Structure formats: structure tokens, C-alpha cells
Amino acid sequence: MRRLSYPRTETQARIVARIEAGWTLRQLEAAPGFPSAPTVRKWAREDPGFAAGLVWARSWRRGVRTEARWAARAFRADWAEDFVSRIRRGEAVGSLVGGPGQPTRRLVAQWRRERPEFDAGVSAAVRLWRNRGRGWRAYDEAVADRIVLMLAHGATLDEVFVHPELPGRQIVRRWRSRVTDFDGAVKTALAVGWRARCRARRGRLDAALTEAICLHVLHGGTVRSAARSVPGAPCEATLYGWVAASPGFAHDLAIARRMRDEVRADEALAAAERRAEAAVQRTRAAGP
């Protein structure tokens, strides 16, 4: 088999540049235009200048990687503020850490040790959520009516949970899973409130049809299913054209999707809680 020859000086410069950029010898030998790893090591033994260049490139690469790791662990003030705010609204810590784009639970614990103000904010938010939870264990019809009224006037669930005098997300989810009338009233109020928000933002242009499309999405549909089932709706491609051409319609559709996803998430969690409670009841009935 005929061996390939490489212009040594030019190839060595390219190798050093790639090593500095983060490549390894194994990655280089798999790339076209580069020699095998044993050849690179042979060149390094024969050429002290090339060997020194490799050492320098590798040390630089280690420094870049170390800097990137430290940057990933740096405290993120904007994320921390949102984290504390979402805990106040009753969201579980497990849903806020460890996911894509989220710091790990261990990193958050480190930030709490290093940042007393962040630790104090988290502790206060947890205490507030626990106190709210203890105060709202029993269903309160007057408070439930207030929540439904706020939703009917255009507030979203997230906007309701911000109020410290009202129960948080988990309490409202528990009430909805146990009180069927309250759950139905919340869904109806979300639809009514959505109409109010849309009428305030959108003029008369296609108001009836676009409202019907968004309501279809709000109640669990998609743009594709709306094109097939909403009377008078155009094809799917035309609907997406409307979204691109009309910021008002795009905004209303985004709100409908968000509310639909909130309802789906609440229903899924409520079903999981009911299954867990049923499992506990079966275990107790079975006895030791």
C-alpha cells in the first residue's frame, strides 16, 4: 500500500492549530488531510520545535476547557431571580433544575452557599410557599370564586399565582382535581378571559373566524386540526400565512397554545396524583 506524503511544515502548523482548538490526535487522524497519530508522535520526537508547539497547544486547550467549565458554573443572577419567583408561585424545585439550559441541583446548592442573598431569597420563597400551602389545605369556595373571576377578566394562571394572598399552583391543582365544578369553572373562565384579551388586542379583521380557531387550540386542538374542523377555516398553509402576516393573530394563538399546555400539564399531574392516591389506598387495604 502506497503511503501518503504530507508537506511537513504546513501540516505541523495545521495540527498545532487544531490541537489548540480542542481536537485530539484520534480525531485528527480520522480527518482527511492529516497523518496518523503515530506519525505525529514520530514527528514530535524528531522535531523539538514541533514537540514544543504541541505541548503549548495542549496546555492552551486545557486552559480554554477549564475556563469554559468555570463559565458554566458562574452564578446567573437573571436565572436566580426567576427561580425564586417560580418557587413563590408553588413550582417544584425538581422541575426547575437539571433540565436543558438549567443548572444542576448541586450547582444551585453551591450558589446558595456562596451567595447569602440568593440563599435567603430561596429560603423565604420556600417558607412563603409552605405557609400558603398550610393555609389552603381545605377548599375555599370564596377564594375559588375570586380565582375564576380573575381568569374570566383576562388573567392567566401564572398571573393568579403571583398574588401572595391566593393559593399557589399545587394547591389550585389539588382543588381542581378534587372539585369537579371548580375545574370546569376554571376552564370556562380561561376561555372567557382569552376572548376578552383577544378582543382588546385585535380589531374586526377576521375576528369571528380567528377567535374560533384560537378557541379550538385553547381546548386542545392544533392549527392543523383547526384547518380541518373549524367551519370556514382555510387550509393549514393559509393559516400559517395568517400567523406570519398578522402579529395580533400570532399573539392570540400563542396565548391559546400556552393556556392549552397549562391545562394539559395540570390535568396530567392531577391524574398522576389520583393514581398515587389510589395506589396508597390499595396498599392500605391489602394490609401488612
Handedness of CA 85, 167, 270, 229 (dihedral sign): negative
Residue 147, in any domain of the structure: yes
Same domain? 176 vs 235? yes
Residue 1, in any domain of the structure: no
Taking residues 176-197, report their average pLDDT: 84
pLDDT grade for 89, boundaries at 50, 70 and 90: low
Same domain? 203 vs 279? yes
The three cell numbers of residue 13 are 502548523
Tell me: pLDDT of 168 over 50.
yes
Tell me: pLDDT of 142 over 80.
yes
pTM score > 0.85 for this model? no
Pick the closest to residue 268 from 260, 256, 279 (CA basis): 260
pLDDT value, residue 94: 74
Same domain? 124 vs 193? no
Taking residues 222-236, report their average pLDDT: 86
Same domain? 223 vs 121? no
pLDDT value, residue 204: 44
Same domain? 146 vs 267? yes
Same domain? 128 vs 146? no
pLDDT grade for 64, boundaries at 50, 70 and 90: low
The last residue of a domain, from among 91, 107, 134: 134
CB 257 within 8 A of CB 217: yes
Residue 3, in any domain of the structure: no
Same domain? 147 vs 241? yes
Same domain? 231 vs 102? no
Backbone angles phi, psi at 126, to 5 degrees: -65, -40
Mean pLDDT for the chain overall: 79
The last residue of a domain, from among 73, 100, 115: 73
Q: How many domains does the chain have?
A: 3
Same domain? 38 vs 121? no
Same domain? 279 vs 252? yes
Same domain? 165 vs 81? no
Going by C-beta distance under 8 Å and a sequence separation of 6 or more, which residues neighbour residue 88? 125, 128, 129, 162, 164, 168
The last residue of a domain, from among 107, 134, 161: 134
Same domain? 151 vs 103? no
Residue 114, in any domain of the structure: yes
Tell me: pLDDT of 1 over 50.
no
Place of cell 374542523: 229
What percent of the chain is predicted at pLDDT more than 90?
A: 0
Residue 195, in any domain of the structure: yes
Please give the residue range of the domain that contains residue 18: 8-73
pLDDT grade for 4, boundaries at 50, 70 and 90: very low
CA 160 – CA 261 distance, rounded (Å): 16
Residue 214, in any domain of the structure: yes
